[in-house]
Chain A
Amino acid sequence: MREATILTGFLGSGKTTLLNRLLTQQGFPPSAVLVNEFGEVGIDNALLRFSTERVAVLANGCICCAVREDVEEAVRLLVEQETSGEAPPFEHLFIETSGLADPARLIQTFSASPVLRSRFKLRSVVATVDATLGAATLNRFAEAARQVALADTVILTKTDLLDAGTSMDPLLHQIQAVNPGVRTTMAQHHVPVDMQHFLNESGTATRDTAFRFLRGSSAQGRMKVTHLLDTGISSFCLTLSEAIDWTAFGIWLTWLLHRHGSSVLRVKGLLKVAQCDGPVVFHAVQHMVYPPEHLDRWPTEDETSRLVFIVKDLDSALVERSLRAFNSLTTVEASYAREWSRHKDIGAGSTVRGRPVRRPSTPRWMR
Protein backbone atom coordinates (compact mmCIF):
# COMPACT_ATOMS: atom_id res chain seq x y z
CA MET A 1 0.00 0.00 0.00
CA ARG A 2 1.23 3.46 -0.86
CA GLU A 3 1.72 6.14 1.74
CA ALA A 4 0.42 9.64 2.18
CA THR A 5 1.47 12.69 4.15
CA ILE A 6 -0.71 15.66 5.02
CA LEU A 7 1.13 18.98 5.00
CA THR A 8 -0.72 21.69 6.83
CA GLY A 9 0.12 25.15 8.17
CA PHE A 10 -1.35 28.61 8.48
CA LEU A 11 -1.53 31.11 5.60
CA GLY A 12 1.94 32.09 4.46
CA SER A 13 3.75 29.70 6.77
CA GLY A 14 5.85 28.28 3.93
CA LYS A 15 4.14 24.97 3.13
CA THR A 16 4.64 25.12 -0.63
CA THR A 17 8.25 26.33 -0.38
CA LEU A 18 9.03 23.46 1.94
CA LEU A 19 7.28 20.98 -0.32
CA ASN A 20 9.17 22.24 -3.36
CA ARG A 21 12.48 21.77 -1.59
CA LEU A 22 11.53 18.34 -0.46
CA LEU A 23 10.35 17.11 -3.84
CA THR A 24 13.55 18.17 -5.55
CA GLN A 25 15.70 16.61 -2.85
CA GLN A 26 17.68 13.55 -3.89
CA GLY A 27 16.38 10.26 -2.66
CA PHE A 28 12.80 11.33 -2.11
CA PRO A 29 10.32 8.89 -3.67
CA PRO A 30 8.39 10.00 -6.80
CA SER A 31 5.36 11.80 -5.47
CA ALA A 32 1.97 13.12 -6.43
CA VAL A 33 0.79 16.32 -4.82
CA LEU A 34 -2.76 17.31 -4.13
CA VAL A 35 -3.08 21.00 -3.38
CA ASN A 36 -6.11 22.40 -1.64
CA GLU A 37 -5.79 25.87 -3.15
CA PHE A 38 -3.91 27.64 -5.93
CA GLY A 39 -0.79 28.77 -4.14
CA GLU A 40 1.36 31.74 -5.02
CA VAL A 41 4.30 29.41 -5.37
CA GLY A 42 4.05 26.73 -8.02
CA ILE A 43 5.10 23.18 -7.42
CA ASP A 44 7.43 21.55 -9.93
CA ASN A 45 8.55 18.03 -10.54
CA ALA A 46 5.46 16.36 -9.29
CA LEU A 47 2.20 15.06 -10.51
CA LEU A 48 -0.06 17.85 -9.39
CA ARG A 49 -3.79 18.18 -8.81
CA PHE A 50 -5.86 20.93 -7.29
CA SER A 51 -9.00 20.52 -5.29
CA THR A 52 -11.52 22.90 -3.78
CA GLU A 53 -12.87 22.00 -0.40
CA ARG A 54 -16.06 20.05 -0.77
CA VAL A 55 -17.36 17.93 2.03
CA ALA A 56 -19.89 15.23 1.48
CA VAL A 57 -21.90 13.57 4.19
CA LEU A 58 -23.56 10.34 3.20
CA ALA A 59 -27.32 10.43 3.40
CA ASN A 60 -28.48 9.43 6.86
CA GLY A 61 -24.84 9.46 7.91
CA CYS A 62 -23.16 10.55 11.08
CA ILE A 63 -20.09 12.72 11.52
CA CYS A 64 -17.76 9.81 10.92
CA CYS A 65 -19.22 9.50 7.41
CA ALA A 66 -18.18 13.04 6.50
CA VAL A 67 -15.52 12.71 3.83
CA ARG A 68 -13.74 15.33 1.80
CA GLU A 69 -15.41 14.39 -1.46
CA ASP A 70 -13.10 16.66 -3.46
CA VAL A 71 -10.03 14.89 -2.10
CA GLU A 72 -11.52 11.48 -2.72
CA GLU A 73 -12.37 12.43 -6.31
CA ALA A 74 -8.96 14.00 -6.98
CA VAL A 75 -7.13 10.94 -5.65
CA ARG A 76 -9.31 8.66 -7.76
CA LEU A 77 -8.39 10.72 -10.86
CA LEU A 78 -4.70 10.60 -9.99
CA VAL A 79 -4.78 6.84 -9.73
CA GLU A 80 -6.80 6.47 -12.93
CA GLN A 81 -4.36 8.61 -14.90
CA GLU A 82 -1.44 6.69 -13.51
CA THR A 83 -3.06 3.39 -14.46
CA SER A 84 -3.84 4.54 -18.02
CA GLY A 85 -0.28 5.81 -18.47
CA GLU A 86 -1.31 9.46 -18.79
CA ALA A 87 0.64 10.27 -15.67
CA PRO A 88 3.93 8.89 -14.35
CA PRO A 89 3.79 6.38 -11.50
CA PHE A 90 4.16 7.71 -7.97
CA GLU A 91 5.00 6.13 -4.63
CA HIS A 92 4.00 8.83 -2.20
CA LEU A 93 1.02 11.16 -2.00
CA PHE A 94 1.26 14.64 -0.49
CA ILE A 95 -1.84 16.56 0.38
CA GLU A 96 -1.18 20.22 1.04
CA THR A 97 -4.09 21.84 2.85
CA SER A 98 -5.14 25.43 2.47
CA GLY A 99 -3.91 27.81 5.16
CA LEU A 100 -7.27 27.96 6.88
CA ALA A 101 -8.27 24.32 6.44
CA ASP A 102 -8.93 22.04 9.36
CA PRO A 103 -6.77 18.95 8.74
CA ALA A 104 -9.02 16.88 10.99
CA ARG A 105 -11.59 16.33 8.26
CA LEU A 106 -8.84 15.25 5.90
CA ILE A 107 -7.47 12.80 8.47
CA GLN A 108 -10.99 11.50 8.93
CA THR A 109 -11.34 11.05 5.17
CA PHE A 110 -8.42 8.62 5.22
CA SER A 111 -10.29 6.37 7.61
CA ALA A 112 -13.81 6.87 6.26
CA SER A 113 -13.29 6.88 2.48
CA PRO A 114 -13.11 3.40 0.95
CA VAL A 115 -11.19 4.90 -2.03
CA LEU A 116 -8.41 6.26 0.16
CA ARG A 117 -8.45 3.58 2.81
CA SER A 118 -7.92 0.80 0.29
CA ARG A 119 -5.07 2.51 -1.55
CA PHE A 120 -3.16 4.74 0.87
CA LYS A 121 -1.89 4.60 4.39
CA LEU A 122 -1.69 7.95 6.15
CA ARG A 123 1.91 8.17 7.32
CA SER A 124 2.04 11.47 9.14
CA VAL A 125 0.66 14.96 9.52
CA VAL A 126 3.25 17.73 9.28
CA ALA A 127 2.53 21.36 10.17
CA THR A 128 4.63 24.38 9.25
CA VAL A 129 4.87 27.34 11.63
CA ASP A 130 6.37 30.67 10.63
CA ALA A 131 9.20 31.33 13.10
CA THR A 132 8.73 35.10 12.83
CA LEU A 133 4.95 35.34 13.25
CA GLY A 134 4.07 31.94 14.71
CA ALA A 135 3.65 33.01 18.35
CA ALA A 136 1.06 35.68 17.57
CA THR A 137 -0.68 33.50 14.99
CA LEU A 138 -1.06 30.59 17.41
CA ASN A 139 -2.59 32.86 20.02
CA ARG A 140 -4.98 34.64 17.68
CA PHE A 141 -6.15 32.07 15.18
CA ALA A 142 -7.84 28.87 16.27
CA GLU A 143 -7.19 27.39 12.80
CA ALA A 144 -3.42 27.68 13.31
CA ALA A 145 -3.60 26.17 16.78
CA ARG A 146 -5.74 23.27 15.49
CA GLN A 147 -3.22 22.57 12.73
CA VAL A 148 -0.40 22.34 15.28
CA ALA A 149 -2.55 20.30 17.66
CA LEU A 150 -3.22 17.69 14.96
CA ALA A 151 0.38 17.43 13.72
CA ASP A 152 2.85 14.64 14.38
CA THR A 153 5.72 16.95 13.45
CA VAL A 154 5.99 20.75 13.46
CA ILE A 155 8.53 22.38 11.18
CA LEU A 156 9.60 25.94 11.92
CA THR A 157 10.08 27.89 8.71
CA LYS A 158 11.63 31.29 7.89
CA THR A 159 14.14 30.90 10.70
CA ASP A 160 16.69 32.77 8.56
CA LEU A 161 14.47 35.88 8.80
CA LEU A 162 14.83 36.09 12.56
CA ASP A 163 17.17 38.72 13.96
CA ALA A 164 20.48 37.34 15.12
CA GLY A 165 20.27 36.25 18.72
CA THR A 166 16.48 35.95 18.76
CA SER A 167 15.51 32.98 20.86
CA MET A 168 12.98 30.54 19.54
CA ASP A 169 12.31 29.13 22.99
CA PRO A 170 9.06 31.08 23.59
CA LEU A 171 7.62 29.80 20.30
CA LEU A 172 8.79 26.25 20.96
CA HIS A 173 7.28 26.46 24.43
CA GLN A 174 4.00 27.63 22.92
CA ILE A 175 3.99 24.80 20.40
CA GLN A 176 4.58 22.31 23.21
CA ALA A 177 1.72 23.91 25.12
CA VAL A 178 -0.64 23.27 22.21
CA ASN A 179 0.65 19.78 21.47
CA PRO A 180 2.73 18.44 24.37
CA GLY A 181 5.61 16.26 23.24
CA VAL A 182 5.20 16.98 19.53
CA ARG A 183 8.38 16.64 17.49
CA THR A 184 9.69 20.02 16.35
CA THR A 185 12.41 20.79 13.86
CA MET A 186 13.66 23.69 11.78
CA ALA A 187 13.80 24.10 8.04
CA GLN A 188 17.03 25.91 7.24
CA HIS A 189 18.29 27.26 3.97
CA HIS A 190 20.88 25.10 2.20
CA VAL A 191 20.27 22.27 4.65
CA PRO A 192 18.34 19.31 3.26
CA VAL A 193 14.99 18.71 4.90
CA ASP A 194 14.94 15.56 7.02
CA MET A 195 12.75 13.22 5.01
CA GLN A 196 11.97 11.08 8.03
CA HIS A 197 9.54 13.73 9.24
CA PHE A 198 7.42 13.04 6.19
CA LEU A 199 7.93 9.34 5.81
CA ASN A 200 7.90 8.24 9.45
CA GLU A 201 4.90 6.34 10.54
CA SER A 202 2.43 8.25 12.65
CA GLY A 203 2.53 5.53 15.29
CA THR A 204 6.31 5.74 15.49
CA ALA A 205 6.08 9.47 15.91
CA THR A 206 3.54 8.97 18.67
CA ARG A 207 5.71 6.47 20.49
CA ASP A 208 8.66 8.85 20.31
CA THR A 209 6.41 11.65 21.46
CA ALA A 210 5.14 9.63 24.38
CA PHE A 211 8.69 8.78 25.42
CA ARG A 212 9.84 12.39 25.13
CA PHE A 213 6.83 13.62 27.00
CA LEU A 214 7.25 11.11 29.80
CA ARG A 215 10.89 11.92 30.29
CA GLY A 216 10.16 15.62 30.58
CA SER A 217 7.23 15.44 32.98
CA SER A 218 6.74 14.59 36.58
CA ALA A 219 4.22 11.89 37.42
CA GLN A 220 3.65 13.40 40.82
CA GLY A 221 2.78 16.79 39.42
CA ARG A 222 -0.83 17.92 39.41
CA MET A 223 -2.72 18.18 36.18
CA LYS A 224 -1.50 21.28 34.44
CA VAL A 225 -3.85 22.94 32.00
CA THR A 226 -2.41 25.23 29.37
CA HIS A 227 -4.75 27.60 27.59
CA LEU A 228 -4.08 29.41 24.36
CA LEU A 229 -5.40 32.94 24.32
CA ASP A 230 -8.45 33.63 22.16
CA THR A 231 -8.60 30.18 20.61
CA GLY A 232 -10.44 28.15 23.26
CA ILE A 233 -7.85 25.41 22.79
CA SER A 234 -6.17 23.94 25.84
CA SER A 235 -4.05 20.94 26.64
CA PHE A 236 -3.73 18.95 29.80
CA CYS A 237 -2.28 15.67 30.99
CA LEU A 238 -4.19 13.16 33.11
CA THR A 239 -2.14 10.95 35.39
CA LEU A 240 -3.64 7.74 36.72
CA SER A 241 -1.71 5.49 39.05
CA GLU A 242 -4.34 2.73 38.98
CA ALA A 243 -4.47 0.47 35.94
CA ILE A 244 -6.99 1.39 33.26
CA ASP A 245 -9.55 -1.22 32.31
CA TRP A 246 -9.48 -1.50 28.52
CA THR A 247 -13.22 -2.22 28.16
CA ALA A 248 -14.24 0.66 30.42
CA PHE A 249 -11.79 2.94 28.62
CA GLY A 250 -13.23 1.89 25.25
CA ILE A 251 -16.78 2.62 26.42
CA TRP A 252 -15.76 5.98 27.84
CA LEU A 253 -13.67 7.17 24.90
CA THR A 254 -16.01 6.05 22.12
CA TRP A 255 -18.81 7.90 23.90
CA LEU A 256 -16.67 10.98 24.53
CA LEU A 257 -15.63 11.09 20.87
CA HIS A 258 -19.22 10.58 19.76
CA ARG A 259 -20.50 13.43 21.93
CA HIS A 260 -17.50 15.80 21.87
CA GLY A 261 -15.43 14.55 18.91
CA SER A 262 -15.12 17.97 17.32
CA SER A 263 -13.84 19.39 20.63
CA VAL A 264 -11.33 16.62 21.29
CA LEU A 265 -8.53 17.45 18.88
CA ARG A 266 -6.10 14.81 20.04
CA VAL A 267 -5.59 12.22 22.76
CA LYS A 268 -2.22 10.56 23.16
CA GLY A 269 -0.16 8.91 25.80
CA LEU A 270 1.03 5.78 27.51
CA LEU A 271 -1.45 3.65 29.39
CA LYS A 272 -1.04 1.07 32.10
CA VAL A 273 -3.78 -1.32 31.04
CA ALA A 274 -5.15 -3.89 33.47
CA GLN A 275 -5.29 -6.56 30.75
CA CYS A 276 -1.72 -5.99 29.41
CA ASP A 277 1.75 -6.67 30.78
CA GLY A 278 3.54 -3.73 29.18
CA PRO A 279 2.46 -0.15 28.49
CA VAL A 280 0.16 0.70 25.61
CA VAL A 281 0.78 3.66 23.34
CA PHE A 282 -2.51 5.31 22.57
CA HIS A 283 -3.20 7.90 19.88
CA ALA A 284 -6.42 9.41 18.58
CA VAL A 285 -7.02 12.38 16.34
CA GLN A 286 -10.62 13.46 16.66
CA HIS A 287 -12.72 10.48 15.54
CA MET A 288 -9.77 8.55 14.18
CA VAL A 289 -8.23 6.19 16.73
CA TYR A 290 -5.01 4.49 15.69
CA PRO A 291 -4.53 0.83 16.61
CA PRO A 292 -2.95 0.68 20.08
CA GLU A 293 0.74 -0.13 20.14
CA HIS A 294 2.09 -2.45 22.82
CA LEU A 295 5.54 -1.94 24.29
CA ASP A 296 7.65 -4.44 26.20
CA ARG A 297 8.74 -2.01 28.88
CA TRP A 298 8.17 1.46 30.29
CA PRO A 299 10.54 4.20 29.19
CA THR A 300 11.10 5.24 32.82
CA GLU A 301 10.75 3.55 36.20
CA ASP A 302 7.51 5.37 36.75
CA GLU A 303 4.64 3.15 35.58
CA THR A 304 1.70 5.52 35.71
CA SER A 305 -0.70 6.13 32.86
CA ARG A 306 -0.43 9.53 31.30
CA LEU A 307 -2.89 10.79 28.75
CA VAL A 308 -2.46 14.11 27.01
CA PHE A 309 -5.67 15.76 25.85
CA ILE A 310 -5.77 18.65 23.43
CA VAL A 311 -9.29 20.02 23.51
CA LYS A 312 -11.37 22.99 22.54
CA ASP A 313 -13.80 24.39 25.09
CA LEU A 314 -13.90 21.29 27.29
CA ASP A 315 -13.62 21.30 31.07
CA SER A 316 -10.45 19.37 31.94
CA ALA A 317 -11.59 18.63 35.52
CA LEU A 318 -14.82 17.09 34.25
CA VAL A 319 -12.94 14.95 31.71
CA GLU A 320 -10.69 13.62 34.48
CA ARG A 321 -13.58 12.98 36.88
CA SER A 322 -15.55 11.20 34.18
CA LEU A 323 -12.66 8.90 33.19
CA ARG A 324 -11.98 8.03 36.84
CA ALA A 325 -15.67 7.32 37.47
CA PHE A 326 -15.93 5.01 34.44
CA ASN A 327 -12.72 3.21 35.36
CA SER A 328 -13.67 2.74 39.00
CA LEU A 329 -16.96 1.15 37.92
CA THR A 330 -14.94 -1.97 37.18
CA THR A 331 -13.99 -2.29 40.85
CA VAL A 332 -17.62 -2.96 41.79
CA GLU A 333 -18.61 -4.64 38.55
CA ALA A 334 -18.78 -8.11 40.11
CA SER A 335 -21.26 -7.06 42.76
CA TYR A 336 -23.61 -5.57 40.17
CA ALA A 337 -23.11 -8.41 37.68
CA ARG A 338 -26.63 -9.80 38.01
CA GLU A 339 -28.35 -6.44 37.53
CA TRP A 340 -26.21 -5.31 34.64
CA SER A 341 -25.94 -8.56 32.71
CA ARG A 342 -29.56 -8.80 31.59
CA HIS A 343 -32.39 -6.54 30.58
CA LYS A 344 -33.86 -4.64 33.44
CA ASP A 345 -37.50 -5.46 33.91
CA ILE A 346 -39.01 -2.05 33.42
CA GLY A 347 -42.77 -2.32 33.41
CA ALA A 348 -45.88 -0.70 34.77
CA GLY A 349 -45.44 0.64 38.24
CA SER A 350 -41.69 1.24 38.00
CA THR A 351 -40.11 4.63 37.47
CA VAL A 352 -37.32 5.81 35.22
CA ARG A 353 -35.59 9.00 36.32
CA GLY A 354 -38.54 9.78 38.57
CA ARG A 355 -41.23 9.32 35.91
CA PRO A 356 -43.79 6.51 36.17
CA VAL A 357 -43.69 3.94 33.41
CA ARG A 358 -47.10 2.95 32.03
CA ARG A 359 -47.59 -0.26 30.15
CA PRO A 360 -49.53 0.39 26.93
CA SER A 361 -53.14 -0.67 27.34
CA THR A 362 -54.82 -3.09 24.92
CA PRO A 363 -56.74 -1.22 22.22
CA ARG A 364 -60.53 -1.41 22.65
CA TRP A 365 -61.06 -3.27 19.35
CA MET A 366 -58.82 -6.07 20.53
CA ARG A 367 -60.58 -6.66 23.84
Chain B
Amino acid sequence: MCGLCAALNAGRAWTDAAGRPQFSRAGSPIRASDERDRLVRLANGVLQHYGLTVSDWGGGSYMVANPAGQNENVYALAGIWESVDALLNGQTADPLDEALIESLEGLVSARRTDA
Protein backbone atom coordinates (compact mmCIF):
# COMPACT_ATOMS: atom_id res chain seq x y z
CA MET B 1 0.00 0.00 0.00
CA CYS B 2 1.36 3.42 -0.82
CA GLY B 3 2.10 5.95 1.90
CA LEU B 4 -0.95 8.07 1.17
CA CYS B 5 -3.40 5.18 1.30
CA ALA B 6 -1.83 3.84 4.43
CA ALA B 7 -1.97 7.21 6.13
CA LEU B 8 -5.60 7.72 5.13
CA ASN B 9 -6.61 4.23 6.18
CA ALA B 10 -4.47 3.97 9.24
CA GLY B 11 -7.48 4.34 11.54
CA ARG B 12 -9.42 1.13 11.66
CA ALA B 13 -9.02 -2.04 9.67
CA TRP B 14 -11.41 -4.96 9.34
CA THR B 15 -8.73 -7.19 10.86
CA ASP B 16 -8.65 -5.26 14.15
CA ALA B 17 -10.17 -7.20 17.03
CA ALA B 18 -8.99 -4.87 19.80
CA GLY B 19 -11.65 -2.38 20.80
CA ARG B 20 -14.46 -4.54 19.46
CA PRO B 21 -16.51 -5.96 22.33
CA GLN B 22 -17.44 -9.08 20.36
CA PHE B 23 -13.84 -10.28 20.37
CA SER B 24 -12.23 -11.68 23.49
CA ARG B 25 -9.36 -13.94 24.49
CA ALA B 26 -9.62 -16.16 27.54
CA GLY B 27 -12.65 -14.18 28.64
CA SER B 28 -10.92 -10.78 28.55
CA PRO B 29 -11.18 -8.04 25.95
CA ILE B 30 -8.35 -8.05 23.43
CA ARG B 31 -5.81 -5.28 24.01
CA ALA B 32 -4.29 -3.53 21.01
CA SER B 33 -0.74 -4.26 22.19
CA ASP B 34 -1.47 -7.99 22.58
CA GLU B 35 -3.05 -8.11 19.17
CA ARG B 36 -0.04 -6.40 17.59
CA ASP B 37 2.32 -8.83 19.37
CA ARG B 38 0.42 -11.80 17.99
CA LEU B 39 0.29 -10.29 14.53
CA VAL B 40 4.05 -9.74 14.56
CA ARG B 41 4.66 -13.30 15.83
CA LEU B 42 2.48 -14.94 13.21
CA ALA B 43 3.73 -12.71 10.39
CA ASN B 44 7.31 -13.59 11.35
CA GLY B 45 6.36 -17.26 11.40
CA VAL B 46 5.21 -16.94 7.81
CA LEU B 47 7.79 -14.53 6.45
CA GLN B 48 10.82 -16.37 7.81
CA HIS B 49 10.44 -18.55 4.72
CA TYR B 50 11.49 -15.52 2.68
CA GLY B 51 14.12 -14.36 5.16
CA LEU B 52 12.12 -11.29 6.16
CA THR B 53 11.20 -10.03 9.60
CA VAL B 54 8.42 -7.84 10.93
CA SER B 55 8.58 -5.88 14.14
CA ASP B 56 6.27 -3.55 15.96
CA TRP B 57 7.48 0.02 15.61
CA GLY B 58 6.41 1.90 18.69
CA GLY B 59 2.86 0.54 18.68
CA GLY B 60 1.94 2.72 15.71
CA SER B 61 3.42 1.04 12.69
CA TYR B 62 5.35 -2.02 11.58
CA MET B 63 8.91 -2.34 10.35
CA VAL B 64 9.57 -4.91 7.65
CA ALA B 65 13.22 -5.77 7.09
CA ASN B 66 15.27 -8.00 4.84
CA PRO B 67 18.59 -9.72 5.63
CA ALA B 68 20.54 -7.05 3.78
CA GLY B 69 19.38 -4.49 6.31
CA GLN B 70 16.90 -2.69 4.09
CA ASN B 71 13.68 -1.90 5.89
CA GLU B 72 10.35 -0.24 5.31
CA ASN B 73 7.92 1.29 7.74
CA VAL B 74 4.23 0.61 7.15
CA TYR B 75 1.12 1.71 9.00
CA ALA B 76 -1.17 -1.26 8.63
CA LEU B 77 -1.21 -5.00 8.11
CA ALA B 78 -2.31 -4.63 4.50
CA GLY B 79 0.74 -2.43 3.86
CA ILE B 80 3.16 -5.15 4.98
CA TRP B 81 2.69 -7.08 1.74
CA GLU B 82 3.64 -4.16 -0.46
CA SER B 83 6.85 -3.80 1.56
CA VAL B 84 7.48 -7.53 1.37
CA ASP B 85 7.45 -7.28 -2.42
CA ALA B 86 9.77 -4.29 -2.37
CA LEU B 87 12.23 -5.90 0.03
CA LEU B 88 12.43 -9.17 -1.86
CA ASN B 89 14.02 -7.32 -4.78
CA GLY B 90 12.20 -9.00 -7.62
CA GLN B 91 11.29 -12.26 -5.90
CA THR B 92 7.61 -12.93 -5.36
CA ALA B 93 6.07 -13.82 -2.04
CA ASP B 94 2.77 -15.57 -2.36
CA PRO B 95 0.48 -17.15 0.25
CA LEU B 96 -0.36 -19.81 -2.34
CA ASP B 97 3.32 -20.64 -2.88
CA GLU B 98 3.55 -24.44 -2.47
CA ALA B 99 7.01 -24.22 -0.94
CA LEU B 100 5.73 -21.77 1.68
CA ILE B 101 2.71 -23.94 2.50
CA GLU B 102 4.97 -26.99 2.83
CA SER B 103 7.31 -25.11 5.16
CA LEU B 104 4.37 -23.98 7.36
CA GLU B 105 3.02 -27.52 7.46
CA GLY B 106 6.52 -28.69 8.36
CA LEU B 107 6.79 -26.19 11.22
CA VAL B 108 3.50 -27.36 12.65
CA SER B 109 4.19 -31.08 12.31
CA ALA B 110 7.70 -30.68 13.77
CA ARG B 111 6.41 -29.11 16.97
CA ARG B 112 3.52 -31.52 17.24
CA THR B 113 5.97 -34.42 16.97
CA ASP B 114 8.19 -32.85 19.65
CA ALA B 115 5.18 -32.52 21.91
Contact = CB atoms under 8 A, between A and B. Distances in A.
Interface of A: 58, 60-62, 64-65, 112, 114, 246-248, 250-252, 254-256, 258-260, 273, 275-278, 280, 289-292, 294, 314-315, 318-319, 321-322, 325-326, 328-333, 335-337, 339-344, 346, 352-353, 357, 360
A254 B108 contact: no
B95 A346 contact: no
Interface in B22-61: 22-25, 30, 35, 37-46, 48-51, 53, 55
A339 to B, nearest CB: 8
A40 B91 CA distance: 49
B96 A319 contact: yes
Contacts of B94: 259-260
A251 B39 contact: yes
Contact of B111 (A290, A321, A332): A332
Given A65-B4, A254-B78, A322 B96 contact: yes
B102 to A, nearest CB: 8
18 contacts: A65-B2, A246-B15, A251-B46, A251-B77, A254-B78, A255-B93, A259-B94, A259-B96, A275-B23, A289-B14, A290-B14, A321-B101, A331-B108, A335-B111, A336-B41, A343-B55, A344-B48, A346-B51
B104 A340 contact: no
B67 A357 contact: yes
A301 B45 CA distance: 35
B108 A325 contact: yes
Given A251-B46, A258-B82, A333 B107 contact: no
B81 to A, nearest CB: 4
A62 B17 CA distance: 26
Given A260-B96, A275-B24, A318-B101, A329 B40 contact: no
Nearest to B14: A289
B1 interface: yes
A309 to B, nearest CB: 12
B78 A258 contact: yes
A340 B23 contact: no
Contacts of B53: 343-344, 346
Nearest to B102: A325
A341 B37 contact: yes
Contact of A326 (B46, B49, B77): B46
Given A260-B96, A322-B96, A329-B104, 9 more contacts: A61-B2, A248-B42, A259-B94, A259-B96, A290-B14, A294-B22, A325-B101, A333-B38, A341-B41
B104 A326 contact: yes
Interface string B1-28: 1111100100001110100001111000
A353 B48 CA distance: 9
A58 B49 CA distance: 32
Contact of A318 (B15, B50, B98, B111): B98
B87 interface: no
Interface in B58-88: 65, 67, 69, 77-78, 80-82
Contacts of B96: 256, 259-260, 314-315, 318-319, 322
A289 to B, nearest CB: 5
A329 B103 CA distance: 11
B63 to A, nearest CB: 9
A275 B17 contact: yes
Contacts of A343: 53, 55, 65
Contact of A252 (B44, B95, B107, B112): B95
Contact of A254 (B2, B3, B25, B77): B77
A360 B68 CA distance: 9
A275 B20 CA distance: 11
A325 B115 CA distance: 18
Nearest to B110: A332
